[in-house]
Amino acid sequence: MAPAIPTDLDRPHFIGIGGAGMSGIAKILTQRGARVAGSDSRESATAASLRALGATVHIGHDAAHLAPDASSIVVSSAIREDNPELVAARERGIPVVHRSDALAAVMEGLRPIAVAGTHGKTTTTSMLAVSLRTLGLDPSYAIGGDLDEPGSNAHHGAGEIFVAEADESDRSFHKYAPEVAIILNVELDHHANYASMDEIYESFETFVGRVVPGGTLVLSADHEGARVLRERLAPGSVRVVTYGEAEDADVRVLSITPLGLTSRVTVAMDDGDRELTFTVSVPGRHYALNAVAALAAGAALGVPATELAPALASYTGVKRRLQLKGEAAGVQVIDSYAHHPTEMTADLEAIRGAADGARVLVLFQPHLFSRTQELGKEMGQSLALADASVVLDIYPAREDPVPGVTSALIVDAARAEGADVTHVAEKPAAVEAIVGMAKPGDLVLTMGAGDVTDLGPQILTRLQEG
């Protein structure tokens, strides 16, 4: 039986309902019987899927879209205070609920696993959701990306487990009370909200403090930031299970063997008394380690590791996480959501490992002025792993331009590493530039968190046209 819908979420209006995080909560509430409405800036497949579930979705933002009997307005941190629907809601005294509070509410009464970290959250959350579903446990889940299978970012399940991606970018993950928390890594990012690593650590410490009594923290034993975080935690404040290749890991990775676009992973469980070998159906060491984190978390919740390990092979990917978009003229086009240097490097290394000597070309779109200002040099260094790259202008998302911060910061840093990098401001010209470079056998990556993902199909069309 589904948990009761909170009164203020029985007729919610979502501003930006098409966003990855917002749409997931909207889908779950709709599936539970709430009368969901919302608006988004443009038509999309997500809007169509919400309508198919019974939600009302308006395109464009207008106070007139707000129903007279709306019980609440749900917003994310990206919604500006001058949004006409938000202004109208405040004038009418309608409660304003942050996305994180709405997600916390739909998890109430279930057994939550919250997946946090600077990178890898979406993949790890997805691995858990798919493998638990494969075992017939029918979990609910809310993920920051659409699964290749079953093709949605959220689901209201009949089971008692709820798997959620926990976003640290705006500290909203402080709202959750997980039975199991996963922290994959801890790095400085989201520069508009965090001024230092110390602030990042404090934020993650607060998240760990939200683990329910008797719960478990699953923490990387390999990542320096995660190890520092553990040292900062009060002894005995939470049960900690570590995973990774480090010799002192509780769930220790003994080997990761690349097998084309998959990997075979062997881990030692229970202080080395038991070994498990399983397949990860996506390439790259970082994805293999994400799978081990999922394994450790499921085991902490009581799911037998011997059952969960083989079930992890049923995960085949998330849209935009090294997703093969197609092949034309002998060129494979792959989409990557990577936008932080660590993610960029990991994805490029994974593709290198699976490319079997093929050339790797990248069409990269920097995401956010603040991130480029702080990490532009490192982004350029990551692009040096490609054979050639085209860099677009910065995708601003919610930010206003910052004087002097442009894609040139990335291009100059890449060239300093000896990389073949070209800046092309306009998307149509960038597509032509990549198509002009590509030869049969090459791999082309569209990379970034913005709308660069739309260019993959355009590249394929141009390759087909010759």
DSSP secondary structure string for all residues of 95-126: -EEEHHHHHHHHHTTSEEEEEESSS-HHHHHH
155 and 115 share one domain:
yes
CA–CA separation, 326 and 461 (whole Å): 10
Q: Which two tokens stand for residue 411?
A: 């291009």
Q: Is 1 exposed, middle or buried (0-12, 13-18, 19+ CB in 10 A)?
A: exposed
201 and 259 share one domain:
yes
**Does the annotation count 319 as an active-site position?**
no
362 and 409 share one domain:
yes
Report the chain's mean pLDDT, rounded to a whole number.
91
Exactly one of 30, 85, 121, 453 is catalytic; name it.
121
- pLDDT number for residue 319: 63
pTM of the model: 0.76
Residue 102 domain-assigned (yes or no): no
Q: Which tens digit of pLDDT belongs to each residue from 230-255?
A: 999 998 899 999 999 999 999 999 99
CATH code, domain carrying 157: 3.40.1190.10
- pLDDT number for residue 402: 94
51 and 124 share one domain:
no
278 and 371 share one domain:
no
Look up the domain containing 427 and give its range.
321-465
Q: Which tens digit of pLDDT belongs to each residue from 257-283?
A: 988 778 899 999 876 568 999 999 887
Exactly one of 30, 46, 85, 122 is catalytic; name it.
122
Q: Is 63 exposed, middle or buried (0-12, 13-18, 19+ CB in 10 A)?
A: middle
Residue 103 domain-assigned (yes or no): no
83 and 125 share one domain:
no
Residues 6 or more apart whose Cβ sits within 8 Å of residue 236 = none
Residue 105 domain-assigned (yes or no): no
Last residue of a domain, one of 271, 296, 314: 314
87 and 115 share one domain:
no
**Does the annotation count 121 as an active-site position?**
yes
**Does the annotation count 377 as an active-site position?**
no
Residue 131 scores a pLDDT above 50: yes
Q: List, as residue ranges, the binding site for ATP.
A: 117-123
Exactly one of 27, 85, 124, 165 is catalytic; name it.
165
Q: How many domains does the chain have?
A: 3
Reading phi first (left if > 0) and then psi (alpha if -120 to 50, else beta), residue 214 is in left
- pLDDT number for residue 279: 94
Q: Which tens digit of pLDDT belongs to each residue from 191-211?
A: 667 778 889 999 999 999 999
- pLDDT number for residue 190: 63
* CB 74, CB 14: distance < 8 Å: yes
297 and 178 share one domain:
yes
